[in-house]
C-alpha cells in the first residue's frame, strides 16, 4: 500500500463497484469510511475455509485470490479468480456456511470488514446494497460462463475464453490496458480452474504462442490478436455487465 492508498484502503472497492454500477458521492464517502483491518498475506494462504461461518468479509486490495473446493485425492477445482476490489466472500453475509474455501494465489493485501458494518452500510444506503446484489449476480454470470466453457469448449477455446475474461475484468478496474495484463498465477492454477492437467495447459499455451495469438512471459500476458481470440472462443462480454466500455 502506498501513501495515496492509505488515505482510503477502499479505493479499489469503489473502483470495482463503479465498474458495474453508478455510485453517488455520499455512497463513495460511506464506503471510504468503512472500518477494515488490513492484512498482508503470503501466497497460497487460506482466507476463509470450506465449512467456516465467517463474521467478516474480505476486500482484496492487492494481489490475486481464488475460490476453490478440494475433493478427494488432492483434486482441486478453482471456482473463480479474484483481483483488487473484489469481495469473494460477500455471499457469507446472507448464507452463513461456506461451501468452499477462499485463498490467495499470490502475495496479497486484504481488508477485513465486519459483517455488522456491511449490514449497517447497506441498510443506510440502498444504492450500495443494490450494487453488492448486482455484484453477486455478475459473479453468478461468470460461473455460468465457466460452466459453458467446461461443458462445451475445447481446451484451446477454454484458455482463450479465460484470457479474454481476465483481461476485461482487470481493465475494468484500471489494472490492464493495451491488451496487456498481469497474470501472476501458475499454469497449474489455470489447469485447476479449467479442469485440465498442467501438462495440457502448457501444450495449449505453446500452440497459442505458435499461432502468434499471445505472449506470456514473466507474469505478463500480452494478447497479440484480440479479435481472433474473441472469435475463437466465441466470447460474448454481456455476462460481465461492464456498462461503461465495450469489449476491447
Partner DNA sequence: CGACACATTGACCAGACTCAAAGCTAGTGG
Partner DNA sequence: CCACTAGCTTTGAGTCTGGTCAATGTGTCG
Dist CA 241 CA 248 (whole Å): 14
- The residue from 115, 179, 180, 200 that contacts DNA (CB under 7 A) is 200
What share of residues in the chain are helix, strand, coil (percent, to 5)?
45, 20, 30
Task: Name the phi and psi angles at 28, rounded to 5.
Answer: -60, -45
In the complex, least distance from residue 97 CB atom to a copy of itself, rounded to whole angstroms: 6
**Residue 202 binds DNA, judged by CB under 7 A:** yes
SS3 state at 132: helix
CA nearest neighbour of 16 among 81, 79, 61, 65:
61
In the complex, least distance from residue 78 CB atom to a copy of itself, rounded to whole angstroms: 8
Dist CA 117 CA 45 (whole Å): 25
In the complex, least distance from residue 52 CB atom to a copy of itself, rounded to whole angstroms: 11
Give contact residues for a copy of itself (rule: CB under 8 A): 51, 67, 69, 71-72, 75, 77, 79, 91, 94-95, 97, 99-100, 130, 133-134, 136-141, 143-148, 150-152, 192-195, 234, 236, 238-239, 241
- For DNA, which stretch binds (CB under 7 A), given 7-15, 139-147, 198-206, 232-240? 198-206
209 to 73, 75, 131, 164, 205: CA distances (angstroms): 33, 28, 39, 16, 6
**Residue 196 binds DNA, judged by CB under 7 A:** yes
Site of interaction with DNA (CB under 7 A):
154-156, 186-188, 195-200, 202-203, 205-206, 218
Amino acid at each position: 500500500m502506498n501513501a495515496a492508498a492509505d488515505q482510503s484502503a477502499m479505493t479499489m472497492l469503489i473502483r470495482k463497484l463503479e465498474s458495474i454500477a453508478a455510485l453517488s458521492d455520499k455512497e463513495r464517502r460511506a464506503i471510504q469510511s468503512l472500518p477494515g483491518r488490513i492484512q498482508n498475506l503470503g501466497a497460497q494462504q487460506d482466507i476463509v475455509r470450506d465449512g467456516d461461518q465467517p463474521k467478516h468479509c474480505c476486500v482484496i486490495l492487492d494481489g490475486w485470490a481464488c475460490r476453490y473446493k478440494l475433493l478427494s485425492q488432492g483434486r482441486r477445482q478453482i471456482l473463480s479468480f479474484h483481483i483488487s476490489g473484489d469481495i469473494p466472500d460477500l455471499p457469507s453475509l446472507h448464507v452463513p456456511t461456506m461451501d468452499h474455501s477462499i485463498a490467495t494465489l499470490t502475495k496479497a493485501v486484504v481488508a477485513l470488514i465486519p459483517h455488522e458494518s456491511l449490514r449497517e452500510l447497506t441498510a443506510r444506503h440502498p444504492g450500495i446494497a443494490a450494487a453488492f446484489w448486482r455484484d453477486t449476480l455478475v459473479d453468478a454470470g461468470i460461473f455460468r460462463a465457466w460452466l459453458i466453457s467446461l461443458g462445451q469448449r475445447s481446451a484451446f477455446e477454454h484458455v482463450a475464453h479465460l484470457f479474454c475474461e481476465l483481461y476485461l475484468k482487470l481493465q475494468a478496474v484500471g489494472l490492464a490496458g493495451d491488451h496487456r495484463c498481469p497474470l501472476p498465477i501458475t499454469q497449474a492454477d489455470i489447469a485447476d480452474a479449467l479442469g485440465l492437467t498442467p501438462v495440457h495447459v502448457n501444450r495449449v499455451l505453446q500452440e497459442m504462442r505458435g499461432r502468434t495469438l499471445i505472449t506470456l512471459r514473466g507474469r505478463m500476458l500480452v494478447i497479440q490478436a484480440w479479435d481472433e481470440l474473441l472469435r475463437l472462443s466465441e466470447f460474448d462480454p454481456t455476462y460481465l455487465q461492464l456498462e461503461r466500455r465495450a469489449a476491447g
